[in-house]
Amino acid sequence: MEQAAHHAEHDLDPAVEYSSSKLGMWLFLGTEILLFGGLFAAYTIFRAKFPDMFSEQHKELNLTLGAINTIVLIFSSLTMAIAVWAAQKGDKKKVVIFMIITIVCGLIFGVNKYFEYSAKLSHHIYPSTSIFFGLYYLMTGLHMIHVFVGLSVLGVITYLAHIGKFTKDYYTPVEVGGLYWHLVDLIWIYLFPLLYLVG
């Protein structure tokens, strides 16, 4: 009896747990921004140093695949947001459906990147080819690792939703997972123009 009472006291008040988790995720996202910030800083420095290299070599990038990926990711953020909205309503089925769509979008992104990279490599364009391509591979590569991590996390959350872990009073992981996914999308929205578009 005493054990149960202690155990109950040890669990945080749900409101505290919810706001704690959100604060924690926002802080973590801040660190991700700094991580990529270093790469963006390197991009800025080298672009200022070699403007011609950047304007010449970015033309080698596959604009079509890049644009498709951008649309796919933005769409996946939309479906993720809908999943969170559904979670707030306690609508388990919609949560699962929209999270699955989100994950599928992420997988499409991955497949596109596979095509993009293998095309580059078969044209003998490697990270060591130039600083521009080094940045291209590093920035998109690091981003893709984050996409895969995000997909794993979303996968776990989808499974938890499917087995009924979430209610309209407790859906913190869905929301917090959604925040992470939005960041992954946001980073791509900066990467795409800087690498593919700006001449």
Partner 1 sequence: MSNGTAHDTMAEPSFYEPKGFMSWLLTTDHKRIGILYLVTISFFFLVGGVFALLMRYELLTPEADFLSPHTYNVFFTMHGSLMVFFFIVPGVAASLGNFLIPLMIGARDVAFPKLNLGSYWVYLAGTAILFGALLQPADTGWTYYTPYSVQSQTDVVLITLGVFVLGFSSILTGMNFIVTIHKLRCPGMTWSRLPLFIWASYATAILQLLATPVVGITLLLLIAERTLGIGFFDPAKGGDPILFQNFFWFYSHPAVYIMVIPAFGIISEIIPVFAKKPIFGYKAIAYSSFAIAIISFFVWLHHMFVSGISETAAAIFSFLTMLVAIPTAIKVFNWTATLYRGSISLETPMLYALSFLVLFTIGGLTGVYLGALAVDVHLHDTYFIVAHMHYVMIGGTVFGFFGAIHFWYSKWFGRIFNELVAKVAWFLFFVGFNVTFFPQFFMGVQGMPRRYATYPAEFQSYHEISTYGSWILAVGVVIMTINLIAGLFNKEKPDPNPYGSLSLEWTVPSPPPHENFTEIPTITDWTYGYGKK
Are 109 and 34 in contact by the 8 Å Cβ rule? The answer is: no
102: which residues sit within 8 A by CB, 6+ positions away? 76, 79, 80, 83, 154, 181
Tokens 């130039």 belong to residue:
130
d(CA 122, CA 165) in angstroms, rounded, equals 46
Write down the least CB distance from residue 65 to partner 1, Å. Answer: 22
Are 27 and 177 in contact by the 8 Å Cβ rule? The answer is: no
Write down the least CB distance from residue 47 to partner 1, Å. Answer: 12
Nearer to partner 1, 35 or 71 (CB): 35
Phi and psi for 170 in degrees, rounded to 5? -140, 105
Write down the least CB distance from residue 105 to partner 1, Å. Answer: 27
4: alpha, beta or left? (left if phi > 0; alpha if psi -120 to 50): alpha
- Give the residues lining the site for partner 1 (CB under 8 A): 6, 9-10, 12, 16, 19-21, 23-24, 27-28, 30-32, 34-39, 41-42, 45-46, 49-50, 53, 126-128, 130-131, 134, 137-138, 142
Nearer to partner 1, 28 or 85 (CB): 28
Write down the least CB distance from residue 16 to partner 1, Å. Answer: 6
Nearer to partner 1, 92 or 173 (CB): 173
Nearer to partner 1, 101 or 142 (CB): 142
The residue type of 115 is: F
Write down the least CB distance from residue 191 to partner 1, Å. Answer: 14
